[in-house]
Amino acid sequence: MPASDSMAPPVVEVRSLTKRFQGFTAVDNISFDIKKGEILGLLGPNGAGKTTTIHMLLGLITPTVGSIHMFGLDLAKHREAILQQVNFSSTYISMPFSLTVEENLKVIARLYGLKNIQQRINDIVKKLEMEEIRHKLTRKLSSGQMSRLTLAKALMTEPKVLFLDEPTASLDPDIVNKIKSFLKEYQRSEGLSILYTSHNMREMEEMSDRIIFLQRGKIVAEGTAPEIIQRYGQRDLEEVFLKLAREPNGP
Amino acid sequence: MSLGRILALLSRHMYLYKRSFARLLEIFYWPFLDLVVWGFITIYLERVGMSLHGAVSFFLGALILWDVLFRAQQGIAVSFLEEMWARNLMNLFASPLTVGEYLVATMTMSVLKVTAVGSLMMLFAWVFYSYDILQMGLSLVPFILNLVISGWIIGVLTTSIIMRFGQQAEVLAWGMVFLFQPISCVFYPIEVLPPVLQSIAWMVPPAHIFEGMRAVLTTGDLPVTHLLWATGLNFGFLVIIVAWFYHTFNICKDRGMLVRVGE
């Protein structure tokens, strides 16, 4: 059940976004919107350009061509104002190992200029069931605990847009289930817009209101999961994924 | 420029220093060993009757000031390495933190480090060798300020190279400053250098500072010309190196290196 408002202007507008690295095109002329309260799934095989796209949306990689607007502002010109309202989490990032979980959250809270820091930390620690690890050194966290920490650092800043790059990769099913439930609930209650990548097709179907399929940097399919499945005449999203990913020159 | 974000970065390093044995070694152990070794060398030189007037002041004073430069540079370069090792650069630069705020925070960190190391070295020198660098009086203040700025310049240069070339360049955080040591004339007067190196040394701010320090020790007067040269060169190089850092940062963003640094 999409929580997005179809009449509202998009909070993220990406137009003709392209990234070339020395003769290799990682992202090739893609355009898409994310509406308020919408979860957009970004799907594609390894090297399809998903992570590069997220890095461009976070201002960590400069696009070769194209524009990114969030909240009606151009990211190239209003980086600070935009990033104040955006956050991200990924299995592939880490946080300073020599700091405790709580210290890391305090640093992030100060970076984003949050008020009532201790209260916010208490809230997020409780919501993500992190009480037992809040005074633990980050280097001693398991991968599941680290995922919860990066998610906590992202959600604590109360972003309006959240980028999640394979947030559940390499986690056990119990933690995946808890994280997914928490994210869905949080997204509905806060009207959060999310860009979500995952290699887990079932998770993608469950989580996303709409899906964009990327291959070799290009958008090759777009729509809701049932629309895409129907369009390609397959039984589920996994079969669509295999069909699209194995086509040598794209569909 | 947000003071809150600068303080956030500083707090991150303070948490680290609180429990990092390796970082505490940088402040206590190495400076102390430097001082012990150079102190004994100085005592030996005096005992064998070498006609070096004020050997203690020359060597221990120079050593303390050299450490100011070294630690100021390290304060910046090692702070960057800490972020790289922790794979924390993405968290920082995907936040509203600006490059300018990042630089100000690391420069402040280097001042804190210099203050800690400098104070301890002065104390050790006074306790173990009865040497009081403060006898140089107020002349010391502009020299130290200039050395800190020189340390920033070398630190920002080192950081930009590490950012551009990644882990293979991280050894520069400890080695880069020694490239400047021979032409900074820390322990000897500039006139001992060959003419070509003398010309280069006059373009290096620390050479003016150490030459000036020796002048204070031998004549007691503040060498204004050296001070002006050091200050002018420092500010010129600082502007150039900060512009260079911004340029390198943009190149790294363009080539996608910022998200890969440390991998």
**Alpha carbon separation from A157 to A34, A35, A150 (Å, rounded):** 20, 20, 12
> Cα separation of B117 and B230, whole Å?
23
Residue A5 has pLDDT above 70, yes or no: no
A52 to B92: CB separation less than 8 angstroms, yes or no = no
Give the distance from residue B240's alpha carbon to the nearest chain A alpha carbon, in angstroms: 23
Query: CB B240: neighbour CB atoms within 10 A?
Result: 12
Whether A2 and A67 map to the same domain: the answer is yes
The per-residue pLDDT for B49 is 66
In a domain, B261, yes or no: no
Residue A216 amino acid letter = R
Query: CB A22: neighbour CB atoms within 10 A?
Result: 5
Tokens of B16: 């680290």
Average pLDDT rounded to a whole number, residues B247-253: 94
ipTM for the predicted complex: 0.87
Q: What is the per-residue pLDDT across B68-84, written as a single tens digit (0 to 9) for each?
A: 899 899 889 988 998 88
In a domain, A180, yes or no: no
Interface mutation vs chain B, best among A18, A78, A93, A98, most B CBs within 10 Å: A98
Domain housing A114: 87-158
The per-residue pLDDT for A69 is 96
With CA atoms as reference, the chain A residue closest to B253 would be A61
More confident residue, B102 or B132: B102
**At which residue do the structure tokens 């202007």 appear?**
A9
Phi, psi of A210 (to 5 degrees): -150, 150
Residue B119 has pLDDT above 50, yes or no: yes
How many domains, in total, are found in chain B? Answer: 1
Whether A64 and A2 map to the same domain: the answer is yes
> Cα separation of B81 and B61, whole Å?
30
> Cα separation of B69 and B124, whole Å?
18
Q: What is the per-residue pLDDT across A138-160, written as a single tens digit (0 to 9) for each?
A: 999 988 888 889 989 999 999 99
CB B252 within 8 A of CB B90: no
Tokens of A60: 């960590």
Average pLDDT rounded to a whole number, residues B150-157: 95
Of A61, A80, A153, the CB nearest to B259: A61
**Does B194 lie at the interface with A, CB-CB under 8 angstroms?**
no
User: Percentage of chain A surpassing pLDDT 70?
Assistant: 95
> Cα separation of B206 and B226, whole Å?
10
Q: What is the per-residue pLDDT across A52-92, written as a single tens digit (0 to 9) for each?
A: 999 999 999 999 999 999 999 999 999 999 999 999 998 87
Domain housing B186: 3-254
End-to-end CA distance of chain A: 29
A110 to B98: CB separation less than 8 angstroms, yes or no = no
Residue B225 has pLDDT above 60, yes or no: yes
CA dihedral for B4, B5, B6, B8, sign (positive or negative) = positive
Mean pLDDT, chain A, whole residue set = 88
Place A1 in a pLDDT band, splitting at 50, 70 and 90.
very low
Whether A76 and A96 map to the same domain: the answer is no
More confident residue, B121 or A83: A83
In a domain, A175, yes or no: no
Cβ-based contacts of B91 with chain A (< 8 Å): 93, 95, 108, 153
The per-residue pLDDT for A188 is 84
Residue B248 has pLDDT above 90, yes or no: yes
Whether A164 and A137 map to the same domain: the answer is no
In a domain, A36, yes or no: yes
> Cα separation of B20 and B12, whole Å?
12
CB B181 within 8 A of CB B209: no
Q: What is the per-residue pLDDT across B12-69, written as a single tens digit (0 to 9) for each?
A: 999 988 888 888 887 788 888 888 888 888 778 777 766 555 666 677 888 888 888 9
In a domain, A131, yes or no: yes
**Does A71 lie at the interface with B, CB-CB under 8 angstroms?**
no
**Does A21 lie at the interface with B, CB-CB under 8 angstroms?**
yes
More confident residue, A212 or B118: A212
In a domain, A245, yes or no: yes
In a domain, A188, yes or no: no
Domain boundary among A158, A182, A212: A158
User: Percentage of chain A surpassing pLDDT 90?
Assistant: 51
Whether A93 and A151 map to the same domain: the answer is yes
> Cα separation of B184 and A43, whole Å?
57
The per-residue pLDDT for A2 is 46
Domain boundary among A109, A130, A158: A158
Tokens of A26: 């990682």
Q: What is the per-residue pLDDT across A187-204, written as a single tens digit (0 to 9) for each?
A: 888 889 999 998 888 888
Query: CB B101: neighbour CB atoms within 10 A?
Result: 22
In a domain, B216, yes or no: yes
Cβ-based contacts of B254 with chain A (< 8 Å): 61-62
Q: What is the per-residue pLDDT across B177-222, written as a single tens digit (0 to 9) for each?
A: 888 889 989 888 899 999 999 999 999 999 999 998 888 877 777 8
How many CA atoms within 13 Å lie on the side-chain side of B69?
29
The per-residue pLDDT for A249 is 57
Average pLDDT rounded to a whole number, residues A38-53: 90
The per-residue pLDDT for B18 is 85
How many domains, in total, are found in chain A? Answer: 2
